[in-house]
Structure 1
Amino acid sequence: MLERRLWSNIGLLLIAFFAFLGLWHTFVSSRFLQVVPTSTTSAYTLYTESQSGYPSRALQLPERDYNQLIDLNFNFSIVNFICNDSQPLLLLVLVHSSPSNFAKRKTIRETWGQKDENIKVLFLIGSVTSSDLQKTLEDENRLHNDFVQGTFLDTYRNITYKHVMAFKYSIYHCPQAKYILKTDDDVFVNMPTMMNFLKYDLSPYGAENVLFCTPRRNSKVLRSYRSKWRVSFAEYPDRIYPTYCPGWTLLYSPDVVFALYKEAQKAAYFWIDDIHITGTLIKKINVVHTDIESLVLSQWNLYKIVSFYYNVSDPFLYGRANMKQSEIRALWKFVKMHDAPKYIFRDFH
Structure 2
Amino acid sequence: MRLRGRIAYKCLTLIVVAVIILLVCIDYFAPNAKRDEFLTHLPPLERDVSQEQAAPQNIETDSKLNRLVNLTDFKYEISNNVCRKNDKGLLAIIIVTSYAGHDELRAAHRLAAPQSKLAEMGMQRIFLLAALPTKEKYITQKQVLDEQQRFGDILQGNFQEAYRNLSYKHVMGLRWAATDCPNAKFIIKIDDDIIYDVFHFRRYLESLEVQQPTLIASQAYLAGYVLNARPPVRNVANKWFVSEQEWPRTT
TM range (shorter): 0.5 to 0.7
Q: Percent identity?
A: 28
Q: After superposition, what is the alpha-carbon deviation per residue over 1:289-314, rounded to whole angstroms, capped at 9, x for unaligned?
A: xxxxxxxxxxxxxxxxxxxxxxxxxx
Offset at residue 218 of structure 1 (A) = 1.8
Offset at residue 70 of structure 1 (A) = 5.4
Q: Aligned pair in 2 of structure 1 residues 142, 203: CA closer, same or farther (>3 Å)?
A: farther
- Mapped to 1, the partners of 2:237 and 2:76 lie a distance apart of 35
Q: After superposition, what is the alpha-carbon deviation per residue over 1:27-76, rounded to whole angstroms, capped at 9, x for unaligned?
A: xxxxxxxxxxxxxxxxxxxxxxxxxxxxxxxxxxxxxxxxxx95331111
Residue pairs, 1:88-107, within 5 angstroms? 88-107=89-108
Residue from 128, 131, 146 that aligns with 1:127 = 131
- Mapped to 2, the partners of 1:197 and 1:113 lie a distance apart of 20
> Is residue 70–residue 161 contact of structure 1 (8 Å, CA) maintained in 2?
no
Offset at residue 168 of structure 1 (A) = 1.5
Residue pairs, 1:252-263, within 5 angstroms? none
- Matched residues, number: 172
- Mapped to 1, the partners of 2:240 and 2:199 lie a distance apart of 35
Structure 1 or 2, whichever has the larger Rg, is 1
Q: Aligned pair in 2 of structure 1 residues 141, 233: CA closer, same or farther (>3 Å)?
A: same
Aligned-residue RMSD, C-alpha? 2.3
> Is residue 81–residue 180 contact of structure 2 (8 Å, CA) maintained in 1?
yes
SS in 2 for 1:90: strand
Structure 2, unaligned runs of 5 or more = 1-68
Letter in 2 for 1:188: I
Asked if 1:209 is matched to 2:199, the reply is no
Offset at residue 80 of structure 1 (A) = 1.9
Letter in 2 for 1:162: K
Offset at residue 151 of structure 1 (A) = 1.1
Offset at residue 114 of structure 1 (A) = 4.2
Q: Aligned pair in 2 of structure 1 residues 70, 167: CA closer, same or farther (>3 Å)?
A: farther
SS in 2 for 1:211: coil
Q: Aligned pair in 2 of structure 1 residues 109, 226: CA closer, same or farther (>3 Å)?
A: same
Residue matched to 1:177: 184
- Mapped to 2, the partners of 1:76 and 1:224 lie a distance apart of 33
SS in 2 for 1:230: coil
- Mapped to 2, the partners of 1:212 and 1:234 lie a distance apart of 28
- Mapped to 2, the partners of 1:226 and 1:167 lie a distance apart of 29
- Mapped to 2, the partners of 1:70 and 1:120 lie a distance apart of 30
- Mapped to 2, the partners of 1:150 and 1:185 lie a distance apart of 17
Residue matched to 2:12: none
Q: Give the ranges of 4+ consecutive aligned residues of structure 1 lying more than 6 Å apart after TM superposition.
A: none
Residue pairs, 1:99-178, within 5 angstroms? 99-112=100-113, 114-115=115-116, 116-117=118-119, 118-130=122-134, 133-178=140-185
Residue from 230, 239, 246 that aligns with 1:228 = 239
Structure 1, unaligned runs of 5 or more = 1-68, 241-349
Q: After superposition, what is the alpha-carbon deviation per residue over 1:319-339, rounded to whole angstroms, capped at 9, x for unaligned?
A: xxxxxxxxxxxxxxxxxxxxx
Residue matched to 2:7: none
Bigger RCO of structures 1 and 2 (CA < 8 A, at least 6 apart) = 2
Offset at residue 231 of structure 1 (A) = 2.6
Offset at residue 203 of structure 1 (A) = 4.7
- Mapped to 1, the partners of 2:203 and 2:151 lie a distance apart of 26
SS in 1 for 2:170: helix
Residue matched to 1:71: 71
Residue pairs, 1:186-335, within 5 angstroms? 186-203=193-210, 207=217, 208-240=219-251
> Is residue 108–residue 114 contact of structure 1 (8 Å, CA) maintained in 2?
no
SS in 1 for 2:194: coil
Q: Aligned pair in 2 of structure 1 residues 225, 151: CA closer, same or farther (>3 Å)?
A: closer
Residue matched to 1:81: 81
Offset at residue 236 of structure 1 (A) = 2.2
> Is residue 112–residue 190 contact of structure 1 (8 Å, CA) maintained in 2?
no
Q: After superposition, what is the alpha-carbon deviation per residue over 1:77-98, rounded to whole angstroms, capped at 9, x for unaligned?
A: 1122111142111110000000
SS in 2 for 1:213: coil
Q: Aligned pair in 2 of structure 1 residues 153, 203: CA closer, same or farther (>3 Å)?
A: farther
Q: After superposition, what is the alpha-carbon deviation per residue over 1:254-307, rounded to whole angstroms, capped at 9, x for unaligned?
A: xxxxxxxxxxxxxxxxxxxxxxxxxxxxxxxxxxxxxxxxxxxxxxxxxxxxxx
